[in-house]
């Protein structure tokens, strides 16, 4: 009987089929490797604009929200009555960016400097003397929070840490800087109510917000960087003003300083500046027909005008051909060539990545 039972057990064991999980398909393709210029290794060019723009809805233009002054587009029409002389304007712009960066830091909002402001940072961490406006960017998450909780808020500053009242006092509108009350500066955070319209077609409202000096009308343009989830290009970002980026070009943000206060700059700042202004803008130390020359010892742009003052009507850097960038020093005797590596080490000590800031509301692809 015992032998029979053992045989039954053995028969059941060997006759029972063995169940296994079905094999899952395995993606054996190698991970994407990027070239230094941000293109996938093996590709010959950056993704086309049409590829990066795919999926963006074109919602018709809405009524323009921000209105600049009639005498100068770099002043807000609600607050400006006169244009400021360039030397005085620079002091107001310096106070603008310092108070803005300090406020965004206190509010824990993700923001970084961009465009011509970033070019000024590249050279010496300061506003270029011919600049008449400032540009920063924020994440869509940050803009949404600012719109919900801080829109139309007036921020007041008296702290000398952020304001150059001594330099600005003699030229202040109204001439009230001799007393403490006159040295108080007020700045308005104004969010464009059309910011939710993310379409390129909303051409009258490409600026999402502004930080405005309520005394002079000077302002900082604030644009939101948005993730194009419908694009076939991973990590494709865009702004309403038609600037397009790959995620790794912006994030993680680098920590630096600008005009003496902590500031964030995009990760691939060199590539972005070259793409926007041309490679020569990073090395040529003479600006447009010798209006300004960069003094490498003083780390400062020095005016070449013999007369005091100027009209401030200088052109921005345009696209510069690679041929000019590669020209020999003898062909450009007035320009001191400053290497990219030298400039990088000046602005970011040791060329090392500073504190990283990852954005909460964007899922981005960045090169490893």
293-333 tens-digit pLDDT: 999 999 999 988 744 344 443 333 333 223 222 323 332 22
| Confidence at 146, pLDDT banded by 50, 70, 90 | very high
pTM beyond cutoff 0.75: no
Whole-number pLDDT of residue 91 = 93
Whole-number pLDDT of residue 277 = 96
Sign of CA pseudo-dihedral 71, 73, 78, 80: negative
pLDDT digits (tens, 9 = 90+) for 153-178: 999 998 666 776 534 444 444 444 44
**CA separation, residue 319 to residues 60, 223, 273, 325 (Å):** 30, 22, 11, 11
Q: Give the mean pLDDT of the chain.
A: 73
| Confidence at 363, pLDDT banded by 50, 70, 90 | very low
Q: Sort strands 209-213 and 185-191 into parallel, antiparallel or unpaired.
A: antiparallel
pLDDT digits (tens, 9 = 90+) for 6-28: 554 455 444 444 333 333 333 33
Q: Which has the closest alpha carbon to 192: 66, 57, 63, 61?
A: 66
Average pLDDT over residues 111-124: 98
**CA separation, residue 185 to residues 35, 155, 163 (Å):** 47, 8, 8
pLDDT digits (tens, 9 = 90+) for 75-101: 999 999 899 998 899 999 999 999 999
pLDDT digits (tens, 9 = 90+) for 232-259: 898 999 999 889 999 999 999 999 999 9
Whole-number pLDDT of residue 69 = 83
**DSSP H/E element including 287:** strand 286-287
**CA separation, residue 226 to residues 166, 198, 246, 307 (Å):** 40, 8, 11, 46
Round to whole Å and give the CA distance between 366 and 368.
6
Whole-number pLDDT of residue 80 = 92
Every domain of the chain and the residues it spans: 62-269
Prior bond of 256 cis (ω within 30°) = no
| Confidence at 360, pLDDT banded by 50, 70, 90 | very low
């Amino acid at each position: 009987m015992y032998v029979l039972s053992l045989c039954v057990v053995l028969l059941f064991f060997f006759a029972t089929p063995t169940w296994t999980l079905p094999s899952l398909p395995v993606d054996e393709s190698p991970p994407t490797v990027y070239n230094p210029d941000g293109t996938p290794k093996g590709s010959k060019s950056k993704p086309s604009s049409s590829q990066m723009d795919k999926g963006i809805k074109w919602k018709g233009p809405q009524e323009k929200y921000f209105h600049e002054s009639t005498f100068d587009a770099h002043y807000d029409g609600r607050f400006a009555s006169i244009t400021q002389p360039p030397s005085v304007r620079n002091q107001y712009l310096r106070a603008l960016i310092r108070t803005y960066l300090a406020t965004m830091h206190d509010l824990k909002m993700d923001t970084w400097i961009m465009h011509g402001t970033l070019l000024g940072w590249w050279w010496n961490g300061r506003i270029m003397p011919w600049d008449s406006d400032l540009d920063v960017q924020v994440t869509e998450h940050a803009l949404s929070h600012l719109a919900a909780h801080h829109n139309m808020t007036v921020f007041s500053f008296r702290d000398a840490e952020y304001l150059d009242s001594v330099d600005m006092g003699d030229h202040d509108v109204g001439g009230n800087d001799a007393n403490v009350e006159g040295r108080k500066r007020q700045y308005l955070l104004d969010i464009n109510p059309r910011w939710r319209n993310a379409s390129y077609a909303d051409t009258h409202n490409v600026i999402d917000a502004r930080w405005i000096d309520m005394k002079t009308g000077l302002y900082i343009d604030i644009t939101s960087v948005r993730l194009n989830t419908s694009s076939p290009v991973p990590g494709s970002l865009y702004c309403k003003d038609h600037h397009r980026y790959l995620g790794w070009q912006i994030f993680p943000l680098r920590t630096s300083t600008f005009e003496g206060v902590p500031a964030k700059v995009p990760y691939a700042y060199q590539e972005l500046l070259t793409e926007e202004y041309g490679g020569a803008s990073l090395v040529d130390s003479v600006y447009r027909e010798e209006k300004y020359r960069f003094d490498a010892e003083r780390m400062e742009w020095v005016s070449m005008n013999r007369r005091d003052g100027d009209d401030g009507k200088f052109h921005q850097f345009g696209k510069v051909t690679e041929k000019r960038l590669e020209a020999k020093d003898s062909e450009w005797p007035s320009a001191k060539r400053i290497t990219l590596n030298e400039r990088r080490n000046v602005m970011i000590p040791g060329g090392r990545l500073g504190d990283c800031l990852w954005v909460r509301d964007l899922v981005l692809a960045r090169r490893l």
